Amino acid sequence: MLDVADLVTAYGKIEALKGVSLRVESGRITCLLGPNGAGKTTLMMTIAGILQPRRGTVRLDGQELTGLTPARIVAQGVALVPENRLVFPQMSVHENLLAGAYQRRGRGEIASDVERMYARFPRLQERRAQLAGTLSGGEQQMLAVARALMSRPRVLLMDEPSLGLAPLVVAEIFRIVGELNRDGTTIFLVEQNAHMALQVAHHFYLMEQGRVTFSGTPGELAEDEVVQRAYLGARRAAG
């Protein structure tokens, strides 16, 4: 569904992506693992059109996204839940959701989608009038997810949704990721928490220093010695 081919993105002279190719299959959860500084966020921002690649292409169902503005990419059906959530802090929860539907017309449908979000995220309903900047980290993450869903994306990109959250909240986020996927949303997830990701994702990529260094199923990932030592082992030792 989403095809990334030979993508190179640079900050000045430094190439953060050095020719990345990967594929996100329709209806699945694809997970991108990798250490800090590997280029995961750069990849997400390039797909979303915030960063312009030097080379390479991003295609959605064969249609070229490269070179489109972020707004056009949203219109094509790609929504990104950015790293650090980036909710609109001075807007209410409700307004954040409306902003998520910015490109859509039809107040009735938008209103019923907002209600659907409140049903899925009851915490947001309780806090609908509260300023988003005053929410807890976990609530802001849910708001960021709900806001992205308000554009009715065909692919949902999520950049480290568990970053900085307590274990119980992380489990809740992953439960929602699984649920969204079962309801038909294609998801491309960036994570450092390999253990949690193993429970939900169908396919894994590993990225290191701007390159994809592994691609495989959860089973293959769990068996890969390098991955095990770097991610699963280290996590187990640490936690």
Partner 1 sequence: MIDFLQNTIDGVMTGASYALLALGFTLIFGVMRRLNLSYGPSIMVGAYLGTLAHLHLAAGPLGVAAVTVAGAVLAGLYVERLCFAPMAAGAGIAAMVSSFAIWMQLEQAAILVLPRHTYPFPPLASATAWLGPFLLRLDQLIMLASALVLALGVQALLYGTRFGLALRAIIGNPTAAHLVGIDVRRATVLAFALASAVGGVAGFLVLASDAQVTPMFGMWATMKGLIAMMIGGLGSIPGALVGGLLLGVVEAQSQWYLGPQLRDLAAYVLLFACLVWRPGGLFGAAPVRDLARGRSL
Q: What residues make contact with partner 1 under the rule CB under 8 A? A: 45, 48-50, 69-71, 74-75, 79-80, 82, 84, 86-91, 95, 98-100, 102-103, 147-148, 150-151
Per CB under 6 A, 164 contacts ligand ADP = no
With CA atoms as reference, report the closest residue to 40 among 22, 19, 16: 16
Burial 17-35 (b: 16+ CB within 10 A, else e): bbebebebeeeebbbbbbe
Structure tokens at 224: 């890969």
Count of positions (residues) in the chain: 239
- Between 38 and 73, name the residue whose CB sits nearer to Mg ion: 38
Choose among Mg ion, partner 1, ligand ADP, none what residue 227 binds, the Cβ cut-off being 5 to 8 Å by kind: none
- Between 13 and 105, name the residue whose CB sits nearer to ligand ADP: 13
- Between 122 and 133, name the residue whose CB sits nearer to partner 1: 133
- Between 127 and 147, name the residue whose CB sits nearer to partner 1: 147
Residues 68-97 that bind Mg ion (CB under 5 A): 83
CA distance 57 to 49: 11
CA distance 80 to 188: 9
Q: How many helices and strands in the chain, by DSSP H and E?
A: 11, 10
Q: Which of 4, 16, 24, 41 binds Mg ion (CB under 5 A)?
A: 41
- Between 52 and 103, name the residue whose CB sits nearer to ligand ADP: 52
Residues 22-51 that bind ligand ADP (CB under 6 A): 34, 36-42
Q: How far is the CB of 158 from Mg ion (least distance, A)?
A: 11
With CA atoms as reference, report the closest residue to 4 among 17, 13, 16, 181: 17
Residue 68 — φ and ψ, nearest 5°?
-75, 155
Interface residue list for ligand ADP (CB under 6 A): 11, 16, 34, 36-42
